[in-house]
Amino acid sequence: MCIERVSTEWQFCKPLYERRRQAYRRYVDRRWEADSAGLEISEGRFWVGSISETTPRRPEGALYRIDHDGHCMRMLDGLFTSNGLAWSADGRRMFHSDSRGQIIRVFDYDPETGEISSGRVLARPSETEGRPDGGTVDSEGSYWTAGAWAGCLNRFSPEGQLLERQILPVAAPSMLCFGGPFLDQVFVTSLSRDTAKGSETGQLLSFSSKVVGLPGHRFRPLVQTGLEPLGGTTSELR
């Protein structure tokens, strides 16, 4: 498999990231400390998680849902690092990971109400498989997760079986998505880190996949929330 380095410089992302971060921070409660993964879904809601930055670490992170009218509701709490949001093709299963909690869970999801239920453990990745960071779902219903600090991607079946493990030329992959005209290209970002061999900058990698991904979506507010859709099409990236 040929893995291509698309970019080794992430400074261009910072202004965009900060603009979105300041917008949705207004809609969550005071326990918010730092944001983690955010995702728009098919019916146009926006979901975003938070990270506990206490010392020592305590499970004070949470997962929030922002509706079309700007109303925000806390959907999960007791998390260390909310991460890995993804939905099945039919929109009725929601995947979520707690990176520092080293757990991936799946929930039943109601697209009409935005409610989640029947949470159960999908997987508890080992240190070899890495901390479950960002995630996505492919067209076969399998869940992909970035194995942070293990330098790999893990693909789990809908039942939680580890189907494959893709080794990457970076130590800390952080997020992945499908892109390209046919959604058969995988794009992976990584974190910057210092190692015994020196500093490793954050990178953007890509490689071809035999299985294709699912198209992305946009947040569709009914009122001005400050979370306006960004330019470009998400289908180009996911």
Q: Distance of CA 184 to CAs 8, 15, 95, 235, Å?
A: 22, 29, 21, 12
- Of 188, 179, 91, give the one whose Cα is nearest residue 133: 188
Catalytic residue among 133, 138, 184, 194: 133
**Conformation bin of residue 90: beta by default, left when phi > 0, alpha when psi is -120 to 50:** alpha
The two three-digit tokens of residue 212, written as one number:
């294709």
Contact 73, 64 (CB under 8 A): yes
Give the span between the Cα atoms of 30 and 133, in whole angstroms. Answer: 24
- Of 105, 104, 100, 103, give the one whose Cα is nearest residue 54: 100
**Cis amide linkage into residue 56, ω under 30° from 0:** yes
Per DSSP, what are the bridge partners of residue 38? 48
Active-site residue flag, 133: yes
Which secondary structure element, helix H or strand E, spans residue 64, and what is its range? strand 61-66
Active site members: 133
